[in-house]
């Protein structure tokens, strides 16, 4: 399939109509045109001459070929982004200003010049601002296609026919202004999206046999070494092989604080190296990097239509002919049946046509959706489509995996019991210092914090399934679980302490010599600092039910659940049990599942909405509908809040656009509807709906700080 960037699309309805026409062409049945992203996808065999003709008939044109998504970097380096849609917009603006000046002149000179000259001025103003709409409308009339342009054309012809020159000109000017603002509104939302996509660097300094060479990042392979100077962007995901620096990962994770990186640590493509020189070994070719995935997801997200949008498009299809029928009845019924004045009711009927224009209704959803996706993406939260954003605003139940989501997935020493302080820490340190086991790391962190000199252990032996035995200063020591100290008879007080720690859901590591227990470490998975606040925020946002699902035993699950404040928890679950639980919850409400591990992928897929932690596994990210690029839940409440706001704004927009129409139409009953009221109710609604949708891009917090 070939992809093209389309500029000059005046409205969502027009984009839909162009798509329908292209589908009629040979090989055109799979054509897709997205108003939100301005992208056309067509079969390579389709006639481009025919496509250009269809686009031209609507004032749209192909800007240039959009590269395939693996090469986004070229797509965004182009200068033509700065004028995107702008070519059409600036021309439209000039025409509108000219016709506005002519209109004002006609109004001012009325009474000074003869009527013919005034009419000529009005006519020129009408032609300059309204000719594109008029031509499109006439073509549609001949094809018996009824849409916004058809309505406006009939209204223009009608107003001129009954000599309402002022109103006819105002209809033309305001309809042009309306299209211009609609274009600007969508462009503003698209432009915000584009700036997000500009984070990809274009080139990298590659090191080969000690030589430096500048290469395009699309040519980088796994294993290549690249040099990143201070202030430069990291070209693709990799591991630092040399150097130290702090790195700004905001483009990927939405986190503003820099993260310290040194040899052996992972860095993301698109993040910025702050002060030191880094040599990075590329782990993923650019097209597989986190950044390329983000760009691809964000672009795809713009192209999915939400249920609301699909409904509105379907509604508009039947709605336009219905309005034309109502207008016709308004024009003919009162004069024929109730001796009404033909001119008066013809005027009323034309007003009905203008009121009926469904611009605002069609615009109720797309600008809000693109603004919402952009806003969440700025926070490092990827929503893979408008449909998922809409869904996120509707969830009432959130299921969490425990490890790596509510907890850090890193063990730490939660409790200790020390019976021989001198030897307990030094023996534990000597035995564990050479081990890379997660429990050993937790113990070493604790020992190091005490600042104790660590002796060297000899003759270290691993005891299968229980622990380690070692010799120091001619004495034997044991470290491990209860089985390790089977050679000792344990005093009752020590046994009580062991039992209490086990009841608290802790993993025990005991240290002993051949006579006695020197002390115990009670180790737990560390709960993330933000987990409790996040759960509380979610409850405040109206998510009634928060549930923790974990494979850990019930005691640990209970303890973590109490600490973070979830409303429910289930422990001892296998991956398939998580799926069962999610399905049970789905039967009672709208469920989102959030997890990070490979074992969460099935549960993520079975929830109505799957949310993955970005530092989690690739399979969880692929399966999920929403990805949090940070390694914590801190930004989740804001994403839910934005989604709810988008849904509220879409509902509000639909109510306003339909409400104003109903009120204006009711004015026809006493015959009070004028073309002025009709124009204001329609254009006003469209401008209002566009501006309200764009407020989603405003960050209230940064305003408050400002």
151 alpha-carbon distance from chain centroid: 36
CA distances from 99 to 109, 176, 177 (A): 15, 10, 11
d(C-alpha 483, C-alpha 473), whole Å: 24
- How many other C-beta atoms are found inside a 10 Å radius of the C-beta of residue 12? 26
Question: Is 698 in a helix, a strand, or coil?
Answer: coil
Give the DSSP H or E segment for 184.
helix 165-197
Contact 211, 226 (CB under 8 A): no
CA distances from 492 to 342, 477, 499 (A): 105, 21, 10
d(C-alpha 265, C-alpha 568), whole Å: 37
List the one residue out of 598, 545, 593, 553 whose CA is nearest residue 573. 553
Q: How many residues does the chain have?
A: 706
Contact 483, 465 (CB under 8 A): yes
Q: DSSP 3-state helix, strand, coil percentages of the chain (rounded to 5)?
A: 55, 20, 25
Contact 265, 275 (CB under 8 A): no
d(C-alpha 466, C-alpha 132), whole Å: 82
d(C-alpha 309, C-alpha 2), whole Å: 25
CA distances from 297 to 86, 125, 126, 240 (A): 26, 45, 44, 27
d(C-alpha 313, C-alpha 5), whole Å: 22
DSSP class of residue 110 equals B
The residues facing 211 across adjacent strands are 208
574 alpha-carbon distance from chain centroid: 31
Contact 581, 573 (CB under 8 A): yes
List residues with catalytic annotation.
401
d(C-alpha 285, C-alpha 292), whole Å: 10
Could you tell me whether strands 609-613 and 626-628 are parallel, antiparallel, or unpaired per DSSP bridges? parallel
Cα torsion angle, 355, 360, 364, 366, sign: positive
d(C-alpha 150, C-alpha 141), whole Å: 6
Contact 538, 519 (CB under 8 A): no
Intra-chain end-to-end CA distance of the chain, in Å: 47
Q: Look-up: residue for tokens 């309402």? A: 164
Q: Look-up: residue for tokens 């001796």? A: 339
Radius of gyration for the alpha carbons in the chain, expressed in angstroms and rounded? 33
d(C-alpha 533, C-alpha 546), whole Å: 13
d(C-alpha 14, C-alpha 134), whole Å: 14
């Amino acid at each position: 399939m070939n992809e093209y960037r389309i500029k000059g699309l005046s409205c969502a309805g027009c984009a839909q109509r162009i798509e329908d026409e292209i589908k009629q062409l040979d090989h055109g049945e799979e054509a897709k045109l997205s108003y939100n992203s301005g992208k056309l996808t067509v079969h390579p065999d389709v006639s481009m001459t025919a496509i250009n003709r269809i686009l031209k008939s609507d004032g749209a044109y192909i800007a240039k070929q959009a590269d395939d998504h693996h090469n986004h970097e070229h797509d965004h380096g182009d200068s033509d982004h700065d004028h995107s849609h702008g070519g059409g917009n600036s021309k439209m603006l000039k025409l509108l200003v000219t016709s506005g000046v002519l209109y004002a002149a006609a109004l001012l000179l009325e009474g000074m010049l003869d009527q013919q000259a005034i009419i000529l001025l009005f006519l020129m103003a009408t032609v300059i601002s309204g000719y594109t709409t008029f031509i499109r409308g006439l073509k549609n009339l001949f094809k018996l296609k009824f849409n916004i342009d058809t309505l406006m054309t009939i209204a223009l012809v009608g107003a001129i026919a009954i000599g309402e020159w002022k109103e006819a000109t105002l209809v033309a000017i305001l309809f042009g202004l309306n299209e211009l603002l609609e274009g600007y509104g969508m462009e503003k939302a698209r432009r915000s999206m584009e700036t997000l996509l500009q984070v990809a660097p274009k080139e990298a300094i590659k090191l080969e046999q000690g030589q430096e060479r500048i290469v395009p990042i699309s040519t980088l392979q796994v294993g290549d070494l690249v040099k990143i100077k201070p202030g430069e962007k990291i070209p693709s995901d990799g591991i630092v092989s040399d150097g130290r620096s702090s790195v700004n990962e905001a483009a990927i994770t939405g986190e503003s604080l820099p993260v310290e990186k040194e040899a052996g640590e992972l860095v993301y493509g698109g993040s910025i190296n702050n002060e030191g020189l880094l040599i990075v070994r590329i782990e993923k070719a650019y097209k597989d990097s986190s950044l390329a995935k983000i760009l691809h997801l964000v672009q795809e997200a713009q192209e999915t239509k939400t249920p609301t949008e699909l409904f509105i498009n379907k509604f508009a299809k039947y709605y336009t002919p219905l309005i034309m029928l109502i207008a016709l009845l308004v024009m003919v019924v009162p004069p024929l049946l109730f001796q009404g004045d033909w001119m008066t009711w013809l005027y009323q009927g034309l007003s009905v046509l203008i009121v009926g224009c469904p611009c605002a209704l069609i615009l109720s959803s797309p600008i809000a959706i693109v603004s919402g996706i952009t806003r969440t993406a700025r926070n490092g939260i990827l929503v893979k489509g408008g449909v998922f954003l809409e869904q996120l605003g509707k969830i009432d139940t959130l299921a969490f995996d425990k490890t790596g989501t509510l907890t850090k997935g890193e063990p730490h020493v939660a409790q200790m019991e020390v019976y021989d302080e001198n030897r307990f820490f030094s023996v534990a340190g000597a035995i564990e210092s050479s081990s890379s086991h997660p429990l050993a790391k937790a113990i070493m962190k604790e020992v190091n914090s005490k600042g104790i000199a660590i002796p060297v252990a000899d003759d270290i032996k691993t005891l299968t399934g229980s622990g380690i035995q070692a010799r120091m200063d001619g004495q034997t020591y044991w470290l491990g679980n209860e089985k390790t100290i089977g050679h000792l008879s344990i005093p009752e007080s020590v046994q009580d302490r062991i039992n209490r720690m086990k009841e608290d859901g802790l993993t025990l590591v005991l240290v002993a010599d051949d006579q006695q227990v020197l002390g115990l470490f009670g180790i737990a998975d560390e709960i993330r600092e933000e987990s409790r606040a996040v759960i509380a925020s979610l409850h405040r946002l109206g998510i009634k039910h928060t549930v923790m699902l974990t494979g850990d035993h019930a005691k640990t699950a209970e303890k973590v659940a109490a600490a973070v404040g979830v409303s429910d928890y289930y422990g001892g679950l296998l991956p398939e049990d998580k799926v069962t639980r999610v399905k049970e919850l789905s039967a009672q409400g709208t469920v989102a599942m959030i997890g990070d591990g490979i074992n969460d992928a099935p549960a993520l897929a079975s929830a109505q909405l799957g949310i993955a932690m970005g530092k989690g596994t690739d399979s969880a990210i692929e399966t999920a509908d929403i990805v949090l690029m940070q390694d914590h839940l801190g930004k989740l409440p804001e994403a839910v809040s934005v989604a709810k706001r988008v849904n509220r704004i879409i509902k509000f927009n639909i109510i306003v656009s339909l409400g104003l129409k109903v009120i204006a139409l009711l004015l026809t009953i006493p015959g009070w509807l004028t073309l002025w009221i009709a124009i204001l109710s329609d254009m006003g609604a469209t401008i209002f709906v566009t501006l309200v949708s764009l407020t989603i891009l405003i960050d209230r917090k940064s305003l408050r700080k400002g």
